[in-house]
Chain A
Amino acid sequence: MNIQQLLNKNSIFTALIALIVILIGVRITPVSVDPVVKVMISKNRVGITNIYQQRDIEFTREVWVDVLDLEESSRFSHPKLGNIATYTDDFFVDVDHKITVKKSDNYRFMMGSDDGFSLRIDGKLICEHLGDRPFSVQPCMIFLNEGEHQVHISYFQGFGNSGFTVEYARGDEKPRWFGEDSSSVKF
């Protein structure tokens, strides 16, 4: 069979249909990411206005993400996974993750949240924002020795726009997403 026989009108039509099917398949295939950080998302029964508010949990779900980049177009949303909370209002997010610091130094944690958050490392409160706010990023500084450290982050979304991001950087290095390995930190 030569190329001219293959390239007839019928074959072109079949190829066109196959191409459309592939394009649709790519568009509608649910995406997946590396499971690096476990995120616990808890839906509260009542409105949330403070990160330390007494919780009245209705449902909790566990989602694994690659990085803590959960803000897109003023919404709590992962760039690939979308809204991993599935809720839009009144939920808490908890991250409890052990990191390995390879080099002792000053570290910056860039905490972005809409609404509140708290960051604890090895049980010590590093920084927090208690109530509602539009999405803002604030730096939190800490000196970390080489070795393992337990990081606990809590975040809450009350009503309206939302978003939650965490980046880290050693010294003056360029920030990386929490969950992204570097020469300084392993997740």
Chain B
Amino acid sequence: MKTFIQTYARFIYPAVILVISLSIYFPYYGTPQAMFWDENYHVPNAQKYIDGVMYMEPHPPLGKLLMAVGEVWFGDNENVNKQALLATDYLTGDAAPPEMTYKGYRWPSTVMMALSVLFFYGIINCITQRAWLAAAFTSLVIFDNALVIHARAVHLDGIQLFFILAELYFFTRIVTSGKPIRLRDYVLLGTFIGLATSVKATSAIELLLLAMLFCVDQWNNIKQWNWQALIKRIAVTVPSGVLPAAAVFLGVFYVHIGLGEKIIDNRTYKASPEYINQIRMGDTWSLKTFSLGMRDNWKFMSEYADGVPRLDECKPDENGSYAMNWPLSSKTISYRWDKNTVDGKTVTQYKYLIGNPIVWFSIVGGIILSLSLVISRYIYNNPVKDEKLFYWICAFTGLYVSYMVAILQIERVMYLYHYFIPLIFGAINLALVFNYIYRDEVIANNKHTIINASLFAILVIAVFAFFSPFTYGFGLTEDQFELRNWFSFWKLQVVR
């Protein structure tokens, strides 16, 4: 048995992780049979692809295209009249066909987020070469209440995180392979960056990975400031990374524009007369239409972004929050609630966006520790005990800080789930900081260190379970709600 486990350990860990992940993300993902949060936007827009209706919206189209695929494959809505979805960009609950299910639309985000934990495991395993460490810290992604509730819905973020984790995985694979970095590595990375950016524009932060890959590629030339060699290499690597990203991005828009073959109820989204004319001629797949449609879509996205309101903390029902509050899971968002009286008790089923406090607070702790490490190295000239690991920590801390700095420049209202990307960077960073602190013990597979990592994972799982009523919509009384209302800055609000 021991020999079997040792022989197949590299498959057993991912297989077990995948089973656990699917068992957390999949159960009852079709409930509630009603929309919440941005589902009201994404469901009608995804349906427009199925029925060939032209539309425009602020996010790039890949996420909705995949939702449309999910609906076609798993929708179970064949006999539902979905005409109401085509005439609006925001489908209210009252306007939605009552018998319609949302399993198909939710499927891509749910399954891709569930699968993406394998990339997370792979990233940590690649860097640390310790499967038990990678498995323990993968609990951060599987058992985070915010990720689970948000990904089990018709939302873009589960799909986006899949591509981001794929990019990070291939990045770590390329860098840790020990082989010289080739142009096709830039192409691969650029392709995934293009896919992630085609889901949500915030993924553009991942372009930093191309710069990091270049630094690893040309480290010797950088150290020696061999600028001629650097420029020569830049001249080929930048196109190798950026062109595939741009090609994917434009390719996705080509499909988006091509599928928009009809205009319903004269809803033209301020499209130019030339573009409308092309659609009416049925010529949506031509390059001319693509050029016109791309220009009009881009203009629409810019104008929409300019029109989004700013954060207004004084507004009583403001769901947005300030980015600096996100690391502590503030402010939470009530997606939906249903109040019932059962056996004389008022029980409310909540769907609340709230992070697993152990996960989120540990990640903040990890960032503080890694920033301290970087400062101690570069300000106090303290030696580092593992140079490679130190640079990995620098990379993920740098990505975390860069994202937060970039997001702070955005003036429009932002929400807690915009923290998911740095949350992933921070989770990887936390595993690496743990590895750095316990480096000798990790290398020696010290039993106490393995037990500690396991205890941490168990704590993550236990706290996830405790907060799971907010994630899966299990009923809570007011007192049970208050037992989970740990901090006032979360701004949880009980339904009375």
A residues adjacent to B (C-beta < 8 A): 9-11, 13-14, 17, 20-21, 24, 27-28, 30, 43, 58-61, 75, 81-83, 86-88
Q: Does B482 lie at the interface of the complex (its beta carbon under 8 Å from any beta carbon of A)? A: yes
B232, chain A: closest CB distance, angstroms? 46
CB under 8 Å from chain A, chain B span 335-390: 343-346, 358
- A42 CB to nearest chain B CB (Å): 10
Residues of chain B lying within 8 A (CB to CB) of residue A59: 343-344
Contacts A11-B448, A24-B463, A82-B482 known; 4 new A-B pairs at CB < 8 A: A17-B459, A86-B344, A88-B478, A88-B496
Verify if B466 is at the interface (C-beta below 8 Å from A). yes
Whether a CB of chain A sits under 8 angstroms from the CB of B31 is no
Query: With an 8 A cutoff between CB atoms, is B449 at the interface?
Result: yes
CA distance A11 to B456 in the complex (A): 13
The chain B residue sitting closest to A29, CB to CB, is B483
B268 at the A interface (CB under 8 A): no
The reply to whether B466 and A10 contact each other, CB–CB distance below 8 Å, is no
Cα of A66 to Cα of B482 in the assembled complex, Å: 20
Please give me the 6 A-B residue pairs with the lowest Cβ-Cβ distance, nearest first: A59-B344, A10-B448, A88-B496, A82-B479, A13-B452, A83-B478
Question: Does B269 lie at the interface of the complex (its beta carbon under 8 Å from any beta carbon of A)?
Answer: no
Assuming the contacts A14-B455, A17-B452, A28-B466, asked whether A9 and B438 have C-beta atoms less than 8 A apart, the reply is: yes
Return chain B residues, CB-CB under 8 Å to A83: 478-479
Closest to B495 in A: A88
Number of interface residues of B (CB under 8 A): 26
- B437 contacts A by Cβ under 8 Å: yes
Q: Provided the pairs A59-B344, A61-B344, A86-B346 are in contact, do residues A9 and B437 lie with their beta carbons within 8 angstroms?
A: yes
CB < 8 Å neighbour of A30 from B345, B449, B478, B483: B483
Cβ–Cβ < 8 Å partners of A86 in chain B: 344-346, 477-479
Across the interface, do B346 and A87 meet the contact criterion of CB distance under 8 Å?
Answer: yes
Give Cα A61 to B484, complex, Å: 24
Looking at the assembled complex, report how far the CB atom of B143 sits from the nearest CB atom of chain A, in whole angstroms. 15
Q: List 11 A-B contacts (CB under 8 A).
A: A9-B441, A10-B438, A10-B441, A14-B448, A28-B483, A61-B344, A82-B478, A82-B479, A83-B478, A86-B478, A88-B478
Is B446 in the interface zone, CB < 8 Å from A?
yes
* Residues of B in contact with A (beta carbons under 8 Å apart): 343-346, 358, 437-438, 441, 446, 448-449, 451-452, 455-456, 459, 463, 466, 477-479, 482-484, 486, 496
For B456, give the chain A residue with the smallest CB separation: A17
> Does A10 contact B343, Cβ atoms closer than 8 Å?
no
- In Å, the complex CA distance between A86 and B451 comes to 42
Taking the closest CB of chain A, its distance from the CB of B480, in whole angstroms, is 9
What CA separation (Å) do A93 and B456 show in the bound complex? 46
Q: Which residues of A contact B448 (CB under 8 A)?
A: 10-11, 14
Complex CA–CA separation, A11 to B466 (angstroms): 26
Chain A residues whose C-beta falls within 8 Å of the C-beta of B484 in the assembled complex:
28
Nearest to A160 among chain B residues (CB) is B496
CB distance from B333 to the nearest CB of A (A): 22
Cα distance, A21 to B452, chains bound together (Å)? 13
Task: Pick the most buried of A10, A27, A60: most chain B CB atoms within 10 A of its CB.
Answer: A10
Structural contact, A21 and B459, CB atoms closer than 8 A:
yes
Which residues of the partner chain A approach B437 to less than 8 Å between Cβ atoms?
9
Enumerate chain A residues within 8 angstroms of B482, measured Cβ to Cβ: 82
Kindly provide the distance from the CB of B469 to the nearest chain A CB, expressed in whole angstroms: 13
Closest chain A residue to B478, Cβ basis: A83
Residue of B344, B437, B459, B486 with most partner-chain A CB within 10 A: B344
In the bound complex, how far is the Cα of B346 from the Cα of A60, in angstroms? 13
CA distance A32 to B438 in the complex (A): 42
List, in ascending order, chain A residues with CB within 8 A of B496's CB: 75, 88
Instruction: Using A10-B452, A82-B479 as known contacts, say yes or no to A43 and B344 having CB atoms under 8 A apart.
Output: yes
Most buried by A among B358, B486, B496: B496
Contacts of A75 in B (CB 8 A): 496
CB B495 to nearest CB in A, in angstroms, measures: 9
Q: How close is A50's CB to chain B, nearest CB, in angstroms? A: 22
Instruction: Select one of B358, B452, B478 contacting A20, CB under 8 A.
Output: B358
Chain A residue with Cβ nearest B437: A9
Minimum Cβ distance to chain A for residue B496 (Å): 4
**Once the chains are docked, how many angstroms separate the CA of A46 from the CA of B43?**
40
Smallest CB separation, B402 vs chain A (Å) = 29
Say how far B179's CB is from chain A's closest CB, in angstroms.
35
* A43 to chain B: closest residue by CB: B344
- Cβ of A145 to closest chain B Cβ, rounded Å: 40
Q: Which residues of B contact A10 (CB under 8 A)?
A: 438, 441, 446, 448-449, 452
Q: When the two chains form the complex, which single residue of A11, A17, A60 contacts B455, counting CB atoms closer than 8 Å?
A: A17
**Residue picked from B437, B452, B456, most chain A C-beta under 10 Å:** B452
Residues of B within 8 A of A13 (CB): 438, 452
Q: How far is the CB of A89 from chain B (nearest CB, A)?
A: 8
B220 to chain A, nearest CB (A): 35
A88 near B344 (CB under 8 angstroms)?
A: no
The CA of A83 and the CA of B451, in the complex, are separated in Å by 41
Which of chain B's residues have a CB closer than 8 A to the CB of A58? Answer: 344
Complex contacts, B358 vs chain A, CB 8 Å:
20
CA–CA, A13 to B484, complex, Å?
25
A11 to B447, CA, bound (A): 12
Closest chain B CB from A46 CB (angstroms) = 14
Shortest beta-carbon distance from A93 to chain B in Å: 14
B470 to chain A, nearest CB (A): 14
CA distance A81 to B448 in the complex (A): 40
